[in-house]
Amino acid sequence: MSVPELNRYDRLVANLREEFPKLRIIRKDQSAMHRGIHWVLYVVTFGRMRTYLDSFQTTIGNTVYVTPDWDDWDSDRRYVTLRHEAIHLRQFRKLTVPGMAILYVLLPLPLGLAWFRAHFEKEAYAESVRAAAEVWGPDYPRQDAYRRHVIDQFVGPSYGWMWPFRASLERWYDRILASLEHQR
């Protein structure tokens, strides 16, 4: 009897479990802490961030908190998203939970000019772009809708308007796309 080959998502999870032996992937909506974060975000964004529990995966320490529909997603979508979250796992390992919390949440400002949050998310979203190109082809992250979605995460309420300088984000995104050209 042969063992079925793992898909790329399952291989990524297995590799991450080796890299992070304490890795947990759990539903965010079942966490009292995340339900509380949801309401804090709702208040500080003046009601603009309403989808924290059901639209965003969140990594803290060695735990990836996923949306309730995570298991319904196809494995390629989970793979691309988990590649993003793996960057955050490595950031937490390097900087610790308290270090990341201070930098990510507070500095230099919690809203509007959150340079560290933008820095950490740029690393993770660059990985999302690379993973999307791997899974769905190099033209996928070049689509206007995908590009707009990624950049809107930085300039919109989802992350507290963490970096409102769209032109600099457009240049950053172009550099990621250019790096894809070199990988062909």
CA distances from 85 to 13, 44, 125 (A): 11, 24, 9
The pLDDT of residue 106: 94
The pLDDT of residue 108: 92
pLDDT mean by block of 10 residues, the chain; 184 residues: 73 97 96 93 89 93 97 97 98 98 94 95 98 96 98 95 96 96 66
The pair of three-digit structure tokens given for residue 52, joined into one six-digit string: 């924290």
The pLDDT of residue 5: 65
CB burial readout 44-58, b (16+ within 10 A) else e? ebeeebeebbeebbb
Query: 164-173, long-range: CB within 8 Å, 24+ apart, which pairs?
Result: 164/112, 164/113, 172/122, 173/129, 173/147
**98: preceding bond cis by omega (within 30 degrees):** no
The pLDDT of residue 34: 93
